[in-house]
Amino acid sequence: MTRALTLSGSIRTGSLNRLLQKDMSERLGGRGADVTEIDLSDYALPLFSEDLEKQHMPEAAIALGKLFAEADIVFIASPEYNGSMTPLLKNTLDWVSRQKDRPFRHAVFGIGGVSSGKLSTAVMLSHLRDVLTKVMALTAPVDIRIGPGAEAFDGDGRLIDEMAISRADMLADQLMKLAAK
């Protein structure tokens, strides 16, 4: 069975990126994947430092590294902060990248983001794709860019933006196909 891991670079209450994470979890599950949704607030990590790494690898980093390494698919939803990913997401990726079992080399990654503006998360997604490439992660060509986010979901948190739904379906199909190879 294909194992999928989904996460959001936002832990804010009411985060639209967490809604996108949930939406992709449902899409991947509907295509037969065994999906694990994680909340990064459950994995408290200090700010990455090689000094800290030498002293002791945080248990949360080890646990996250194991989850990434066991996944066939990883989907990341994140808002854009000043043209980049959130500090939470960057710090998480930095700690996970330091794991000895090379957790980024097994899974195929899907990326997406929701923002309040019309430019959506285009700049952040480009930066995230670059970072994932540096750690040898295979990233699916299609991504999901949603903006303005307030108009993309209904009152129950369901994705209603037609373009976003189309891209989410394309990405879910790509991820399942690439994971099967």
pLDDT for 135 beyond 80: yes
Query: pLDDT for 90-134, tens place per residue?
Result: 999 999 999 888 899 999 999 999 998 877 899 999 999 999 999
Distance CA 35, CA 116 (A): 28
Domain ranges of the chain: 3-180
Q: Are strands 73-77 and 138-139 parallel, antiparallel or unpaired?
A: unpaired
- Give the model's pLDDT for residue 96: 97
For residue 48, the 8-state DSSP code is P
Beta strands in 9-161 (DSSP E): 34-37, 73-77, 108-114, 138-139, 144-146
- What is the chain's mean pLDDT, rounded? 95
User: What tokens does 18 get?
Assistant: 């967490």
Quote the distance between the C-alpha of residue 115 and its chain's center. 15
157, pLDDT greater than 80: yes
DSSP string, 65-90: HHHHHH-SEEEEE---BTTB--HHHH
**How many secondary structure helices (H) and strands (E) does the chain include?**
6, 6
* CATH for the 3-180 domain, from 3.40.50.720, 3.40.50.360, 3.40.50.300, 3.30.565.10: 3.40.50.360
